[in-house]
């Protein structure tokens, strides 16, 4: 923290406050800890679906101990009088195969989502996240997303409330859909009863997408931190919810890449509301005509 005199007589000052150094050191230590925790969390997250897939493949191997469906069908053709007895057997074998495939497929999709999350984060970390901006109708984008997520929300016994005002935005539809999927999946994951909702409001200059829930809520002290990569409110080994802690960090960066942002209001035990704000295309500051007429 001392000034240094150069040969030409000038003074080069380097003043660092000791408490700043201490804070920077604490922040670096916290970031390091979060990364180490993340490696543990990620290994566990990747292993779980992989275990299911391998389990189903092993079961499928054992299925050759059951009569093959084709041979059962042949037997029925040869002895039609056995049909009533044989049909449930054939159906049973097919049903079992179908169930195994469904489980493996679901776990495979989950694994793909996790890996894509890690890859997206690597892109963001190296400044390589690009968005392909096109004019997008909000109502259409929301409708496809909601259709995709309705089973997830409703299978958990939650009501799914949607309220949409249409508008036009300039967006990478896939990326905005990714953000909404992340927010709605989180809302569902952290809510045991009540509702999950999405409200879209077309304000004069922006469109806001509010994803709200009646779930566990987020402590005041964590409201900023949940957007930090790897951060989970509960990252203990015995944590009850799965996830990588990357979803919100990625979502926030996608919002920023669109000239927007994400904010959060939450109350412990009452619920949370995440609000994605994006600029409207139909009022973009074009002086006359052109895009303004898209409204």
Give contact residues for ligand ADP (rule: CB under 6 A): 182, 186-187, 190, 213, 215-216, 218, 226, 231-233, 243-249, 272
**What letter would DSSP give residue 228?**
S
Residue nearest to ligand ADP (CB): 243
Nearer to ligand ADP, 114 or 173 (CB): 114
Nearer to ligand ADP, 198 or 281 (CB): 198
C-alpha span between 158 and 58 (Å, rounded): 35
Nearer to ligand ADP, 231 or 258 (CB): 231
Q: How far apart are the first and last CA of the chain?
A: 58
Angle, vertex CA 239, rays to CA 235 and CA 245, nearest 5: 40
Question: Min. distance of Cβ 148 from ligand ADP in angstroms?
Answer: 17
Nearer to ligand ADP, 104 or 226 (CB): 226
C-alpha span between 223 and 286 (Å, rounded): 36
At 271 the three-state DSSP class reads strand
Question: Min. distance of Cβ 170 from ligand ADP in angstroms?
Answer: 25
Question: Min. distance of Cβ 266 from ligand ADP in angstroms?
Answer: 7
Q: What phi, psi does 275 have (nearest 5°)?
A: -120, 115
C-alpha span between 38 and 25 (Å, rounded): 20
Whether 138 contacts 202, CB under 8 Å: yes
Question: Min. distance of Cβ 193 from ligand ADP in angstroms?
Answer: 14
At 54 the three-state DSSP class reads helix
Q: What phi, psi does 8 have (nearest 5°)?
A: -80, 5
Nearer to ligand ADP, 252 or 280 (CB): 252
Distance from chain centroid for Cα 159: 20
Question: Min. distance of Cβ 279 from ligand ADP in angstroms?
Answer: 24
Question: Min. distance of Cβ 163 from ligand ADP in angstroms?
Answer: 18
Nearer to ligand ADP, 31 or 89 (CB): 31
Question: Min. distance of Cβ 249 from ligand ADP in angstroms?
Answer: 6
Nearer to ligand ADP, 121 or 283 (CB): 121
DSSP string, 181-226: HHHHHHHHHT-SSSEEEEEEEE-SSEEEEEEEESSS---GGGTTGG
């Amino acid at each position: 923290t001392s000034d240094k005199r150069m040969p030409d007589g000038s003074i080069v000052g380097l003043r660092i406050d000791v408490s700043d150094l201490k804070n920077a050191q604490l922040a670096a230590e916290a970031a390091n800890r979060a990364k180490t925790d993340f490696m543990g969390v990620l290994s566990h997250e990747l292993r779980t679906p992989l275990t299911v897939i391998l389990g189903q493949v092993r079961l499928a191997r054992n299925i050759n101990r059951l009569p093959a469906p084709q041979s059962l069908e042949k037997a029925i053709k040869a002895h039609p009088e056995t049909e009533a007895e044989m049909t449930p057997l054939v159906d049973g074998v097919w049903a079992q195969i179908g169930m195994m495939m469904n489980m493996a497929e679901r776990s495979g999709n989950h694994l793909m989502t996790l890996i894509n999350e890690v890859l997206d984060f690597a892109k963001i970390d190296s400044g390589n996240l690009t968005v392909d901006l096109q004019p997008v109708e909000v109502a259409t984008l929301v409708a496809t997303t909601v259709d995709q997520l309705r089973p997830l929300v409703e299978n958990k016994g939650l009501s799914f409330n949607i309220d949409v005002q249409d508008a036009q935005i300039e967006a990478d539809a896939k990326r905005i859909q990714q953000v909404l999927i992340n927010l709605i999946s989180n809302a569902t994951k952290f809510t045991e009863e009540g509702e999950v909702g999405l409200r879209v409001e077309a304000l004069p200059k922006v469109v806001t997408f509010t994803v709200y829930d009646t779930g566990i809520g987020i402590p005041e002290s964590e409201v900023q931190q949940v957007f930090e990569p790897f951060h989970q409110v509960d990252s203990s080994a015995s944590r009850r919810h799965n996830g990588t802690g990357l979803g919100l960090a990625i979502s926030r960066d996608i919002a920023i890449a669109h000239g927007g942002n994400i904010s959060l209001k939450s109350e412990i035990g009452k619920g949370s509301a995440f609000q994605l704000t994006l600029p409207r295309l139909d009022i973009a500051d074009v002086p006359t005509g052109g895009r303004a007429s898209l409204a």
